[in-house]
Copies of this chain bind each other. A is one copy, B any other.
């Protein structure tokens, strides 16, 4: 399923990008030097949002399960890994060079083989003759050690999965697991995209959350279904409802040759419907290749069947940055609301699921020049902070402070006022106003009940 223009909403996308920059979710890497195309930095709110997503994935995929363990492999690996995986020879886009101006273009994005003669997205203008297309490998190269030659060449990993395959036997042994079992990993990967685009969606540096789940050879399809369902539940739990994800059964002709079945989980971004996660039944292809190329046995002895075989693999592979972006798009809303004086105004709100919200609770003394309010507000902040991320704000009118937290996606706001101090009657003493971001409803609650009340909605 490709993005069609009817689903696109560039104006919304622009607003999200602008909010991300304004509120410190995401900005361009090295911005003061003009940036670096395809590289992004996460600011104070963005880094917390991303951490929450990664932590929840890690908890669900490893810590809460008996059948998955984690690992964290290096980005730099022996080049032999990428020969064995096929990346060195086949992980490429077709490129052409202009013989005159020496610029380079993606052949499948040109309409002509003559430089600049036909409309295209490339900026060339010289009109020169182009070379025949040739493969341009998408892996970033580097040299390890003091001499730059073929023997010291390696790559920044273009995916995290291969570290898991290469360490399969070692992890199996140290963890004393039996099939079916999986190895999970979160980490950076790099692809030298010719045309990075759509904000953080297609970037050159990105983070993956990958699980390689090893199963008996005849159980592949069963586990493919299992993981599809499991992953859909996971997205639901972080605020992307099942109905918002399209499950694409990748047709035979579009699948990698070694895959017997692949689902793409797709999300309707404002720039079109695009892949969030691929769940692929990769058969025994990867382990077999590494066994052949390394000469090291990667077989599994199955005590149940008393046979030895190379396990089959089901791989749910998700992009961290894409998940962050989908959550931002899903959460973004503008709505007309009444201000305190009853006047209509627009508010921008990020309706994050409390589980992934960067800040869980705002804490506001009604006035900052009233020491009793400030002392009490500090107490509330210190009560909540060991349990969740808290933002303390005493600047400006309370309505403005609410709006700022709406834009940051903070699900709860606690205001300490004169009732809290007992000045409006003893029955209100040590109660606070608890405001809900989405309904904007406020209720009066005793301070000691706050932790459990909020935690029950955050966990």
A23-B69 Cα distance, complex, nearest whole Å: 13
Contact with B along A378-416 (1 / 0, CB 8 A): 000000011001001001000000000000000000000
Contact with B along A83-107 (1 / 0, CB 8 A): 0100000000001000000111000
* Partner pick for A44 among B51, B69, B163, CB 8 A cutoff: B69
Chain B residue with Cβ nearest A183: B44
A294-B31 Cα distance, complex, nearest whole Å: 10
Residues of B within 8 A of A76 (CB): 29, 36, 39, 190, 204-205
Residues of B within 8 A of A80 (CB): 30, 33-34
Task: State the Cβ distance, A173 to closest chain B Cβ, in Å.
Answer: 8
Contact with B along A10-34 (1 / 0, CB 8 A): 0000000000001110010111111
Which of A136-144, A224-232, A255-263, A342-350 lines the interface with chain B? Answer: A136-144
Instruction: State whether the Cβ of A247 lies closer than 8 Å to any Cβ in chain B.
Output: no
Residues of B within 8 A of A169 (CB): 32
Q: Say yes or no: A29 contacts B163, CB within 8 Å.
A: yes
A459-B387 Cα distance, complex, nearest whole Å: 11
Contact with B along A64-86 (1 / 0, CB 8 A): 10100111111111101100100
Instruction: State whether the Cβ of A202 lies closer than 8 Å to any Cβ in chain B.
Output: no
Q: How many residues of A contact B (CB 8 A)?
A: 84
Task: State the Cβ distance, A407 to closest chain B Cβ, in Å.
Answer: 11
Q: Say yes or no: B136 contacts A72, CB within 8 Å.
A: no
Residues of B within 8 A of A66 (CB): 392
Q: Say yes or no: B77 contacts A30, CB within 8 Å.
A: yes
Please indicate which of the listed interface residues A40, A76, A389 has the most CB atoms of chain B within 10 Å of its own CB. Answer: A76
A136-B148 Cα distance, complex, nearest whole Å: 12
Chain B residue with Cβ nearest A156: B142
Residues of B within 8 A of A147 (CB): 102-104
Instruction: State whether the Cβ of A421 lies closer than 8 Å to any Cβ in chain B.
Output: no
Contact with B along A150-174 (1 / 0, CB 8 A): 0000101000000100110111001
Would you mind naming 29 contact pairs between A and B with Cβ atoms under 8 Å apart? A24-B171, A24-B174, A29-B76, A30-B80, A30-B166, A31-B166, A32-B298, A35-B78, A36-B154, A37-B145, A39-B74, A40-B74, A41-B73, A42-B73, A43-B69, A43-B175, A44-B70, A45-B174, A46-B71, A47-B71, A51-B58, A64-B386, A66-B392, A140-B142, A140-B144, A142-B156, A144-B204, A145-B192, A145-B194
The 4 residue pairs across chains A and B that have the minimum distance between CB atoms: A24-B174, A30-B78, A44-B69, A39-B74
**A: which residues have CB within 8 A of B?**
22-24, 27, 29-48, 50-51, 58, 63-64, 66, 69-78, 80-81, 84, 95, 102-104, 136, 140-147, 154, 156, 163, 166-167, 169-171, 174-176, 188, 190, 192, 194, 204-205, 290, 293-294, 296, 298, 385-386, 389, 392, 395, 459
14 new A-B contacts, CB < 8 A, other than A23-B174, A32-B169, A144-B192, are A27-B170, A29-B73, A29-B78, A31-B170, A33-B84, A37-B144, A41-B73, A43-B175, A50-B72, A63-B389, A104-B146, A140-B142, A140-B144, A146-B194
